[in-house]
Amino acid sequence: MARYIAKLIGNGIHHRRLRLSGKACRLESLSLEITHRCICRCSMCNIWQIPPEVPDLDLSVWQELLCSPELHHLRELDLTGGEPFLRHDAGKLLQAICEAQPAHFPRLRTLAITTNGILTDRILGHVRPLVAHLQKRGIDLVLSCGVDAVGNLHDRIRNYPGAWDKLQETFAGLYRIRESHPNLILGIKTTIIPLNIRELIPIAAYARSNNLFTIISPRIVTPNRFRNSNNEESLRFTTEDLQEMIHDPSSRGPVTGRRSWAIFAPARSASPAQPGSTPSSFDTTARFSPVRSCRLHWETFRTPPWEN
């Protein structure tokens, strides 16, 4: 862990120097929201409320981006959504990435995909050929599945009956693929909300028993990407919640062991905090990447075009 912390500090100093000098940073990590469609109605995310008439970017747009010279130094590419596997042309997009990689981002070491794990057949159907292709090129495929609790509470938070059972079915298939493809790195992402703040220990135990990395972070309240400002009251943490969330991980922390990290970032409150007050909302300003070349990813939230 000390090595990772030293790496993060070194990266921070390096980027600070570049910022002061006015020089541009080399793009080494890129996260693409390839769709805003989703089959879940999560308690902490209203991205599914984006009007259906608002289209996802066409495949040709992504193909053009993948050929950009700015991607030459790219080491990690992250595909997210919505639910990435809902795209009808997800296979073609993954094929376009594989075709563009040798010439346009030859230094790529990790392709990461975030999923809710519900579309079992579609996920496994795409992962099998993809991970085999990437293995030949020495590239890891990192699959992060959303896990907000163990069991029925997961379904309740996701507002999708049977979500937990479908996720287990997906994981079972992924475990079999991992046996023959060690470049398939599996893990879970957990968003902390008041409903699951006391479920972190069971989540961590589930991850450890299945050799999964963990990324655990407080929910983000934003009117833009997650469109959940109207849920702020129900997502508000109490003082007791904060005490449960922030504790000594060496004694009973939710994340321990290899490939297991969490970033708790109570960095900014939605409104100016008064001395001694509890922040009303949390903003995850950085997240740790569970890959061999670790770096910080800075999240940015743009205003959707239909809200301009």
Q: Where are the domains of the chain?
A: 27-301
The average pLDDT across 250-263 equals 38
Q: Is the pLDDT of residue 253 over 60?
A: no
Residues 6+ apart with CB under 8 A from 175: 186, 210
Any idea what DSSP says for residue 114? E
The confidence band for 1, taking pLDDT boundaries of 50, 70 and 90, is low
The owner of tokens 């504790």 is: 247
Can you tell me the distance from the alpha carbon of 299 to that of 80, in angstroms, rounded to the nearest whole number?
Answer: 13
Can you tell me the distance from the alpha carbon of 45 to that of 39, in angstroms, rounded to the nearest whole number?
Answer: 12
22: left (phi over 0), alpha (psi -120 to 50) or beta: left
Alpha helices by DSSP H, 55-193: 59-66, 90-104, 120-136, 152-158, 163-180
Main-chain dihedrals φ then ψ at residue 201, nearest 5 degrees: -65, -50
The average pLDDT across 181-189 equals 96
* pLDDT at residue number 295: 29
How would you list the strands of the sheet with 213-218, edge to edge?
29-33, 76-80, 110-115, 140-146, 184-192, 213-218
Assigned token pair, 69? 């010279």
Of 104-108, 137-141, 195-199, 282-286, which gets the smallest average pLDDT?
Answer: 282-286
146: cis peptide before it, omega within 30°? no
* pLDDT at residue number 260: 34
Assigned token pair, 135? 């293995």
Q: Is the pLDDT of residue 197 over 60?
A: yes
| Residues 94, 180, 117: CA angle, nearest 5 degrees | 50
* pLDDT at residue number 189: 94
* pLDDT at residue number 14: 76
Most confident stretch, 43-47, 151-155, 198-202, 299-303:
151-155
216: which strand partners?
A: 190
Q: State the pTM of this model.
A: 0.76
* pLDDT at residue number 304: 36
* pLDDT at residue number 288: 32
Q: Is the pLDDT of residue 283 over 70?
A: no
User: How high does pLDDT run on average in the chain?
Assistant: 80
For domain 27-301, the CATH superfamily is pyruvate-formate lyase- activating enzyme (3.80.30.10)
Can you tell me the distance from the alpha carbon of 266 to that of 236, in angstroms, rounded to the nearest whole number?
Answer: 12
Share in percent of the chain as helix, strand, coil (round to 5): 40, 15, 45
Of 27-31, 61-65, 174-178, which gets the smallest average pLDDT?
Answer: 27-31
